[in-house]
Structure 1
């Protein structure tokens, strides 16, 4: 049975502290690895120093996204008139991931623009992922695709693990894989264990939070002991990102790790 490896998502955890201080806080809490969506507000050398000083490994970052409320707030990959911006973002993401030693770059799909059809957006999405996969070849960085639920991200281009897996197969399964977020999957798909086991061979990263409020495991509707046992018994040997909104102070809420993920 595989030991579960949990990393801290510094966009969501330890937000009581300024971002640079979250690295040391994560290490003090017992984490040995971190992930976060956007490193681009800092120079790679600054982030490398924070990782090194805290003794942490960088697991994942995202491609650049636009500000809240903008058309690119959830990524650019499916937006036909943003191809050059998308490509620039992928190259920047690969540069940062390589510099930070991150294994994964999540290529964020985006929301389908109102003025075009879902089919048009999806065709652009697949073409963009194929281009990104070519750029990633030989870099040591795997690209990740994530389905997001329609409640939190209406109009998001990927809506299921099955759809994400189809894109992986169509593009390049040696360079691209799935990021399965159990929070998003539970909200829209359910049947988590069977869905996970169906696609485990192309899943390279996992994320966790408990619906309906996206707080820490044990606060909502998912049966975490059973789910964690299924993960540990499977072929998966990657990391599990803690991408949840703590109900209270982050460290005080980490008791779930001992109670549910033994």
Structure 2
């Protein structure tokens, strides 16, 4: 069975963020991920991880702004990353530096670098050289700390105009970037929305060694993985099968919005998909 990490930015929404660590551990998660940890002191979050026996496996570099208190607001205001955005290179580098400092304290081996939205009046082709240049710089900075960077194709229904949408484009970008510590974050939800044929893509790309992390949610509503058209249980089996063949030992992030919303205990009640995966693995 793959190792599953709870995305604490989305799961357990009835709790304050620092209290979600304990809830995830109580439900049997051994790893956690989140969107942006910067509103909280890194040392405090590290203590929550240690106190609950959890590993931070992933978080995002800032989507915009330089001040920690502004980062979440930047996301809500429409900043979805800066890697492809001309004129904001200094802000991008400052954000990466902040992310690397948090990764060191949290002992987190992966940081997702958001690509951003292609600015109005420009094309994807026009901004790709800047994206590649920024990722090379970030990768070399991360390599000094022994960290890996993730790039993630995201569907344009959720983020219209997002620079990176397809698995094949992501892998082409890895070739162009040319840095061994840059990998693809393969979100099965986004992949299904944009492309479909998800199992075939897992079989194609996981053995390359260039998939560093998976995420999952139900399609189309982004609820629990067992809600909707995505056969998550089958795909977990495919990941298991291919991982055993190629030696992959990463994580699958549960990045979904609980169908029960902020109902007390709603996230825990919706973990039937996780219990089913554990039962299948025990057979």
TM-score, L = length of structure 1: 0.95
> What displacement does 1:194 show?
0.9
1:238 to 237, 250, 255: 250
Residue equivalent to 1:155: 161
1:205 to 189, 213, 223: 213
Contact 1:224 1:260 in 2 (8 A): no
Q: Which consecutive residues of structure 1, in runs of 5 or more, have no partner in the other structure?
A: none
Matching of residues 12-161 of structure 1 within 5 Å: 12-66=10-64, 67-68=74-75, 70-72=77-79, 74-161=80-167
Q: Secondary structure at the match of 2:271?
A: helix
Deviations 1:225-253 (A, max 9, x none): 22111100013320000001111110000
> What displacement does 1:117 show?
2.5
Task: Give the CA RMSD over aligned residues.
Answer: 1.3
Contact 1:5 1:240 in 2 (8 A): yes
Q: 1:254 to 1:69 in 2, by over 3 A?
A: closer
Between the aligned partners of 1:111 and 1:30, the Cα distance in structure 2 is 36
1:174 to 160, 163, 180: 180
Q: Secondary structure at the match of 1:241?
A: strand
2:274 to 253, 257, 262: 257
Between the aligned partners of 2:91 and 2:7, the Cα distance in structure 1 is 26
Q: 1:61 to 1:136 in 2, by over 3 A?
A: same
Between the aligned partners of 1:228 and 1:49, the Cα distance in structure 2 is 31
Between the aligned partners of 1:46 and 1:4, the Cα distance in structure 2 is 28
Q: Secondary structure at the match of 1:180?
A: strand
Q: Which consecutive residues of structure 2, in runs of 5 or more, have no partner in the other structure?
A: 65-73, 261-265
> What displacement does 1:148 show?
0.3
Deviations 1:121-151 (A, max 9, x none): 2221111111111111231210000000011
Query: Would you say how many aligned residue pairs link Structure 1 and Structure 2?
Result: 259
Contact 2:199 2:235 in 1 (8 A): yes
Between the aligned partners of 2:250 and 2:106, the Cα distance in structure 1 is 18
Q: Deviating runs (4+, > 6 A) in structure 1?
A: none
Between the aligned partners of 1:146 and 1:77, the Cα distance in structure 2 is 12
Between the aligned partners of 2:107 and 2:186, the Cα distance in structure 1 is 21
